[in-house]
Amino acid sequence: MSGSRISADLTILVIDENAIRASIIEEGLAEAGHRKVTVIHEVQGVARLIETLQPDVIIIDIESPNRDMMEHMFQLTRSVSRPIAMFVDSSDTASIEAAVDAGVSAYIVDGLKKERVKPILDMAVSRFNAFSRLQRELAEARNALEERKVIERAKGILMKMRGLSEEEAFALLRQSAMNEKKKIADIAQSVVTAAGLLL
Amino acid sequence: MSEMFSMSALGSAAPPRVTREQKTLRAGFIPLMDASILIVAAELGFAEKEGLKLDLVRDVSWANVRDRLAFRQFDIAHMLSPMPVASMLGLGSNPSPTITPFSLGRGGNAITLSARIFERMQILTGLPDDASALANAQALAAVLLDMRARGEAAPTLGMTYPFSSHNYEFRYWLAAGGIDPDRDVKLVVVPPPLTSDALAAGAIDGFCVGAPWNMVASERGTGRIVAAKQDIWPLAPEKVLGLRPEWAEANADTVSRLIVALDRAARWCDEPGNHDHLAEILSSAPYIQAPRDIIRRVLNGEFHLDARGNKRIIPDYFLFHRGAANYPRPHQALWIYSQMMRWGQAEFSGDNRAKAESAYRPDLYRNALGAEASTPDATEEAEMLSAFMDGKPFDTADMAAYVARFPVRTDAAPPLAAHDA
């Protein structure tokens, strides 16, 4: 991912509805020595932007429903001087598969050497993957926090209603979970729900 | 957690059948009513009965569906009928060989114009409420000339994808009215679920998309339906099942089972008695976010043309199975190719003709269904090849001459420009 000087003069357009991810990509491109980078978060007016910007490379997240609009635009411009096509190198399907897996796609100006684009795509793929990993971890952490809160509430309910100590309440939850082959958080949730109905 | 308890169940389960073919299929689809057959095959057990599991994956763009099929994230896909043809001809951003052994039905498209433009058409030409699709197109041509005389900008019209039935049908309708779709209007791509809002906001002045989005706009009072797919060409193919040819070869038995499952699902979808149930499935969360009663009426072909109560019933607006709707006709692929030539997307050559034809694979359909295959009736089919809104019969024998007979086409003299002051 070290900045190769020869590709640093490329004009790059990044289209990503997720502003945080877009800035992560932008940072990666800056680290690799790219200075002519434009980032947009919505595709409104992108046709005009592409006309004026004349990008060599377009990086787009594949969750954008506006990809079809870009396909149409590339069809219209295929006969003009700068036809743009999706980054596909038949000798390197593994890297394009990795890109689609990661949720990113790239279009390049026809005739641009593949080796100038590959580091850009590889960087985008690794950053897209890192971003999804972060998001997944965040979701897991949130989930764990939620579960802990529910268990605390269930313990409180059991302690109050059955006069148990905190340790006894937790042991009861754990024992029920084992007996019913469920997660403690699920048992705790039923306790909380049941208490809401009974009280 | 749950893994350790499922072990007990393993002991009693039958050993898995040894087979090299894939039995769990990832199927990409776009949330539209013409994905019904795939959805029903997965939801109502038709796939399961054939020993297959369909994992439906909802996607947001046709470009994604194409790429995810090409790069093996999908095994099969809900596709626009021109997509396999474009792939075989090497057109578009990522052309990767794609075939179709099964057509996912006919019908479902319509053309909607903004209520504002339609009102101008009526005032200017005295167009009646029940005018034909051709009369509507001609009235639009008159309004375009009027707009040009007044120095107004040409209208912007939406469709779905450069290689879509919508693109070719919209162009066919406009051109039949004497309008050049590349010079007299501006065609843009708008994702189908956004069309009604885009029309309401004035971002576009009309669109051609699949169901239920035309009805959604007309019931809101923002749009007026001016033509249905049936008016343009009743045999026009709509969505198809797309496969990679090398995958289909390696999984020949699975492909046959899949075609049987889809055939059963298609017969189920065609049955009017099942339409309440179908509407309920389609309007549920993972599928189409549109009101269930609108979906139910669209299945009936019951059209509210506008919000003033003008109605039209289109029999067989959706054909899921009858009329050999699932049979992938090579001449449908050729007609698509003719329109690609007409609008400058493809060149004419014998080689291209063969490539276009190879995208549609009735042999796979026949093999899978044997005696149960619904094949086209020869007499009916011959009639269908003449049933175009402009009365021009489709001649498969001489494709170049067929294309040359259209007065409006790319590189032809622009018809409306002749009226320029």
pLDDT band at B420 (very low <50, low <70, confident <90, very high): very low
Separation CA B360–CA B330 (nearest Å): 5
B289 reaches A (C-beta below 8 A): no
Mark yes or no for CB contact B162/A97 under 8 Å.
Answer: no
Separation CA A16–CA A178 (nearest Å): 46
pLDDT band at A128 (very low <50, low <70, confident <90, very high): confident
Give the rounded percent of residues in chain A with a pLDDT score beyond 70: 87
Q: What is the pLDDT of residue A119?
A: 84
- Whether the pLDDT of residue A85 is over 70: the answer is no
Residues of A in contact with B161 (CB under 8 A): 68, 71-72
- Whether the pLDDT of residue B12 is over 70: the answer is no
Q: What is the pLDDT of residue B11?
A: 40
Between CA B308 and CA B318, with CA B313 as vertex, the angle to 5 degrees is: 125
Give one word for B90, left, alpha or beta, with left for phi > 0 and alpha for psi -120 to 50: left
Separation CA B380–CA B372 (nearest Å): 19
Separation CA B45–CA B31 (nearest Å): 20
Lowest mean pLDDT among A9-13, A168-172, B117-121: A9-13
Q: Looking at the whole model, is its pTM more than 0.80?
A: yes
Q: Which fold has domain B20-105+237-303+315-395?
A: D-Maltodextrin-Binding Protein; domain 2 (3.40.190)
Separation CA B243–CA B255 (nearest Å): 9
- Whether the pLDDT of residue B41 is over 80: the answer is yes
Closest to B300 measured CA to CA, from B278, B318, B321, B322:
B318
Measure B177 CA to nearest chain A CA, in Å: 23
Contact A37, A30 (CB under 8 A): yes
The position carrying tokens 């219209």 is A76
Measure A183 CA to nearest chain B CA, in Å: 7
- Whether the pLDDT of residue B10 is over 50: the answer is no
Residues of B in contact with A107 (CB under 8 A): 93
Closest to A64 measured CA to CA, from A16, A13, A12:
A16
Average pLDDT over residues B211-235: 92
Mark yes or no for CB contact A105/B61 under 8 Å.
Answer: no
pLDDT in tens, B134-174: 999 999 999 999 999 999 999 999 999 999 999 999 999 99
pLDDT in tens, B235-262: 998 999 999 999 999 999 999 999 999 9
Which uninterrupted H or E stretch holds B312? Answer: strand B311-313
Alpha-carbon B214 to chain mean position: 13
Q: What is the pLDDT of residue B419?
A: 44
pLDDT band at B6 (very low <50, low <70, confident <90, very high): very low
The position carrying tokens 């578009």 is B92
Residues 6+ apart with CB under 8 A from A20: A131
> How is B135-167 classified by DSSP, letter by letter?
HHHHHHHHHHHHHHHTTPPPPEEEES-TTSHHH
Most confident of A139-148, B9-18, B33-42, B91-100: B33-42
* ipTM of predicted assembly, 2 dp: 0.83
Mark yes or no for CB contact B189/A72 under 8 Å.
Answer: yes
- Whether the pLDDT of residue B1 is over 50: the answer is no
- Do the domains B20-105+237-303+315-395 and B110-235+308-314+402-419 sit in the same CATH topology, yes or no? yes
Residue B15: cis peptide before it, omega within 30 degrees of 0: no
Q: Which one of B93, B161, B163, B213 would you mutate to disrupt binding with A, by most A Cβ within 10 Å of its Cβ? A: B93
Residues of A in contact with B189 (CB under 8 A): 68-69, 71-72
Contact B110, B229 (CB under 8 A): yes
A44 reaches B (C-beta below 8 A): no
Domain ranges of chain B: 20-105+237-303+315-395, 110-235+308-314+402-419
A131 reaches B (C-beta below 8 A): no
- Whether the pLDDT of residue A4 is over 80: the answer is no
Measure B73 CA to nearest chain A CA, in Å: 8
Mark yes or no for CB contact A67/B190 under 8 Å.
Answer: no
Name all domains of chain A by residue range, CATH numbers in brackets: 5-137 (3.40.190.80), 142-198 (1.10.10.10)
Task: For residue B402, give Cα distances in angstroms to A93, B331, B348, B395.
Answer: 39, 13, 11, 6
* A67, A75, A107 member nearest B61 (Cβ): A67
Measure B262 CA to nearest chain A CA, in Å: 27
Residues 6+ apart with CB under 8 A from B119: none
Mark yes or no for CB contact B60/A65 under 8 Å.
Answer: yes
pLDDT band at A103 (very low <50, low <70, confident <90, very high): confident
Contact B212, B369 (CB under 8 A): no
Between CA B334 and CA B345, with CA B91 as vertex, the angle to 5 degrees is: 65
- Nearest residue in chain A measured CA to CA from B1: A183
B93 reaches A (C-beta below 8 A): yes
* Inter-helix orientation angle B133-149/B165-176, to 10°: 70
- Nearest residue in chain A measured CA to CA from B159: A69
Residues of A in contact with B345 (CB under 8 A): 75
Mark yes or no for CB contact B71/A86 under 8 Å.
Answer: no
Measure B319 CA to nearest chain A CA, in Å: 27
pLDDT in tens, B274-331: 999 999 999 998 898 888 998 999 999 888 887 788 888 888 889 999 999 999 999 9
Q: Which CATH architecture has domain B110-235+308-314+402-419?
A: 3-Layer(aba) Sandwich (3.40)
